[in-house]
Structure 1
Amino acid sequence: MQTLRGAVSAKTTLPILENVLLDCRSDRIEMSATDLEVGIRTIAYGDVEEPGILTIPARKLAEVTRELPEEDVTFTVSDGSQVLIECADVTYLMFGLPADDFPRIPELGEGYITLDAAVVGQMIDSVRTAVSTESARYSLNGVYIDVSPEWLRMVATDSRRLAIANLDAPGLVESRRSAILPTRAAEGVLRAFVDTKEVRLALMENQAVFSDGEITLTGRLIDGEFPAYERIIPRHNPIHVVAGREEFLTAVRRVSLFSDPRTLSVRLDIADHSITLSAHSEDFGEAREAIDAVVPERITLGFNAKYLTDALSSMDSEQVRMELKEPLDATVFRPVDGDDYAHLIMPMRL
Structure 2
Amino acid sequence: MFKAEKSALLSALALAGSIVEKRTTIPILQNVLIDREEDRMIARVTNLDIEAKTYFKPVSIDPEFQPFTVPAGLLSDIVRKLPDGAEASIERGKDAKLSSIFLKSGRSKFSLQVLPATDFPEMAALANPVRVTIPADELSRAIGDCSHAMSTEETRYYLNGIFFHQVAGSEDATFVATDGHRLVKRLTQAEISGTFPGVIIPRAAVRVLPKILPDSGDIDLMVTDNAVRFVGGSAILTTKLIDGTFPDYQRVIPSDCHMVCTLQSKPFGEAVDRVATVSGERGRAVEFTFADQQLRLRVSNPDAGDAEDELAFEGEADLKIGFNARYVGDALAHLSGDKITISLTEVGAPAVLRAATANPENLIVLMPMRV
How would you bin the TM-score normalised by the shorter chain? over 0.9
Question: Which residue in 2 is equivalent to 1:198?
Answer: 218
The residue aligned with 1:48 is: 61
**Matches for 1:17-166 after TM superposition, within 5 Å:** 17-46=29-58, 47-49=60-62, 50-69=64-83, 70-78=85-93, 79-105=97-123, 111-147=130-166, 150-166=171-187
User: CA shift at 1:206, angstroms?
Assistant: 1.8
Match of 2:297 in 1: 277
| Residues 261-270 or 220-229, more deviating | 261-270
Alpha carbons of structure 1 residues 262 and 71: separation in structure 2 relative to 1, 3 Å? closer
Cα distance change of structure 1 residues 25 and 295 upon mapping to structure 2, 3 Å threshold? closer
In structure 2, what is the Cα distance between the partners aligned to 1:117 and 1:26? Answer: 26
Q: Find the aligned partners of 1:77 and 1:152 in 2 and give their Cα distance.
A: 47
Counterparts of 1:155 and 1:241, CA distance in 2: 24
Task: Answer whether contact 1:21 1:102 (CA < 8 A) is retained.
Answer: yes
Identity of aligned residues (%): 29
Pair 1:293 & 2:313 matched:
yes
Asked if the contact 2:132–2:223 (Cα under 8 Å) also holds between the matched residues in 1, the reply is: no
Q: Distance in 2 between matches of 1:289 and 1:262?
A: 17
Give the AA of the match of 1:48.
I
Distance 1:285 1:36 in 2: 52
For 1:106 and 1:194, locate their aligned partners in 2 and report how far apart those are by CA, in whole Å: 25
Residue range with higher mean Cα deviation, 58-67 or 111-120: 111-120
Alignment partners' CA distance in 1, 2:74 and 2:311: 53
> For residues 245 and 91 of structure 1, what CA distance do their matches in structure 2 show?
55
Q: What's 1:261 paired with?
A: 281
Alignment of 1:177-192 (within 5 A): 177-192=197-212
Shift of 1:115: 1.4
Between the aligned partners of 2:282 and 2:338, the Cα distance in structure 1 is 31
Taking structure 1 as reference, are residues 258 and 264 closer, same or farther at Cα in structure 2, changes over 3 Å only?
A: same
Distance 1:34 1:174 in 2: 29
TM superposition outliers: structure 1 runs of 4+ over 6 Å: none
Residue of structure 1 in register with 2:5 after alignment = none
1:174 counterpart SS class: coil
SS at match of 1:20: strand
Distance 2:141 2:211 in 1: 12
Whether the 8 Å CA contact 2:131–2:192 is kept in 1: the answer is: no
Amino acid across the alignment from 2:109: T
Equivalent residue pairs, number: 349
> For residues 180 and 193 of structure 2, what CA distance do their matches in structure 1 show?
29
Determine the C-alpha separation between the residues in 2 that align with 1:136 and 1:313.
28
- Segments of structure 2 that go 5 or more residues without pairing to the other structure are 1-12
The reply on whether 1:347 has 2:368 as its aligned counterpart is: yes
How far apart in 1 are the matches of 2:92 and 2:225? 36
Q: How far off its partner does 1:56 sit?
A: 0.5
Distance 2:87 2:67 in 1: 20
Residue 80 of structure 1: SS of its match in structure 2?
coil
Alpha-carbon spacing, 1:118–1:263, altered in 2? closer, same or farther (3 Å): closer
Q: Once the 2 structures are TM-superposed, how far is the Cα of residue 195 of structure 1 from its aligned partner?
A: 3.5
User: How far has the Cα of 1:25 moved from its partner?
Assistant: 4.3
Stretches of structure 1 lacking an aligned partner (at least 5 in a row): none
Work out whether residues 175 and 186 of structure 2, in 8 Å CA contact, stay in contact via their aligned partners in 1: yes
